[in-house]
Chain A
Amino acid sequence: MPDNPSAWLVTTARNRAIDRIRRDRTLAAKLPLLDAPESAVDTVDDATIPDERLELVFTCCHPALSLDAQVALTLRTLGGLSTEQIARAFLVPEPTMAKRLVRPKHKIRDAGIPFRVPPDHLLPDRLAAVLAVVYLIFNEGYGGRGDLAAEAIRLGRALAELMPDEPEVRGLVALMLVNDARRDARFVDGTVILLRDQDRSLWDTEQIADGRAELERALALGGRGPYVLQAAIADLHADQPQDWPQLAALYAELARVTGSPVVELNRAAAIAEAGEVETALALVERLELDHYHYLHATRAELLSRFDRTDDARTAYGRALELVHSDAERRFLERRLAELEG
């Protein structure tokens, strides 16, 4: 056995000869992997198929499958969750989830979706798709269902083990660890608590340290991608006091990489915290995010700092029209009430 079995595994998978007949036979032999038995919780473990989890995850997260299917298949085959557990996690009836799992399995077989680690020229895009699925699972859990967040972290760690040299994988793991460490402080009585108001004694400091160690590995590997940047931001947010100018700079870099106006909104909030409220408000008012309740909530916060109470009230009202989550709604209503008082 080589010194680094994981790295060896990746290389072996990449270099696998493209012998069509053999490949077809391999694929046919692998299809049962997609049908992990319902009874066992952890069917796809290291002992049974030490060398094929990576191929499996790239197959499950193939862009020719719908995102819903990618998420469900990944949880089913790699996470080893039962159809019923996945159905419950996504609040759909079990037969619906069963259907969601069957169709993509047929497509994998009948449309010739390859069972392999993508070649180098496809790898960055495909890896991004895999990470997006894991992060989506995490965020489903971050909204309150902790089991999914833990599952996403487990998946992320497995990926980091399988692809030890990919900084974005480590960045994602770091991001999830640091955010998840604040879970207990994030909600009180079903209301969202802002970072600055959170009870820090509820933070899992050990997990934050784990996240920081992963982030350092990602940075050492030269990682500067969106997950690494988000992890660095989450990590800085865990510091007290927060380094707002540095945070604003990281958001600027993340906005450049992703082109996302939502990131620009976060940059504006960091600029405001750094003391440049006027610059922040000007930035917020330039953003085209009218449908996004956080834009109006942030704008309301900034306006209230200039004692523009009427404008702030209107902005909170607009945010309340757009908000979906009850926890967020209660938060906004409280801020609005504080404005009146």
Chain B
Amino acid sequence: MKYMLLIHQGSAPTPRSEEWDRLSEDEQKAVYADYKTINETPGVTSGLQMQGPEMATTVRVEDGEALTTDGPFVAVKDALGGYLFFEADDLDAAIELAARVPAARLGGAVEVRPIVEHERS
């Protein structure tokens, strides 16, 4: 099975924010180390790093006309912070990986979405 893990920051601190500076140096190091371990886990294809949701532009089309608004589609706090792909035996393995994502324990959450596989035997 292939899964996409959508990482929602929620209130989890991101580097260079005030909340981030409030974490101890050990906690900051642990966050980096955990993401490194996750990205090195067999089966993981890490996502590209996105700039923050405040950099987002949202586009809708009405009557054939593109309408753009500043910011993400959902509230900034609900916006996607990152993603990765994981090829795993089953959902349990994906849940275990998701539980190791630092954002999940720091006020965010990880959504596990199975990828549709068209050629399943």
Contacts and interface: CB of A to CB of B under 8 A. Distances in A.
Interface of A: 18, 20, 23-24, 62, 64, 110-114, 118, 122
B92 A118 contact: yes
Interface string B95-117: 10000000000000000101000
Contacts of A24: 120-121
Contact of B91 (A18, A20, A23, A112): A112
B1 interface: yes
Contacts of B91: 62, 64, 111-114
Contact of B89 (A23, A62, A64, A122): A23
Contacts, number: 30
Contact of B95 (A18, A23, A64): A64
A77 B94 CA distance: 26
Contact of A111 (B89, B114, B120, B121): B114
A114 B90 contact: yes
Nearest to A112: B1
18 contacts: A20-B89, A23-B89, A24-B121, A64-B91, A64-B95, A110-B114, A111-B91, A111-B112, A111-B114, A112-B88, A112-B89, A112-B94, A112-B114, A113-B91, A114-B89, A114-B90, A114-B91, A122-B92
Contacts of A118: 92
Interface residues of B, number: 13
Given A64-B91, A112-B1, A112-B90, 18 more contacts: A23-B89, A23-B90, A62-B91, A64-B95, A111-B91, A111-B112, A112-B3, A112-B88, A112-B91, A112-B94, A112-B114, A113-B90, A113-B91, A113-B92, A114-B90, A114-B91, A114-B92, A122-B92
A224 to B, nearest CB: 27
Given A110-B114, A111-B114, A112-B1, A18 B89 contact: yes
B92 to A, nearest CB: 5
Contacts of A114: 89-92
Nearest to B113: A111
B27 to A, nearest CB: 25
Question: Which residue, of B1, B3, B94, B120, has the highest number of chain A Cβ atoms within 10 A?
Answer: B1
A21 B88 CA distance: 12
B101 to A, nearest CB: 17
A18 B3 CA distance: 18
A326 to B, nearest CB: 40
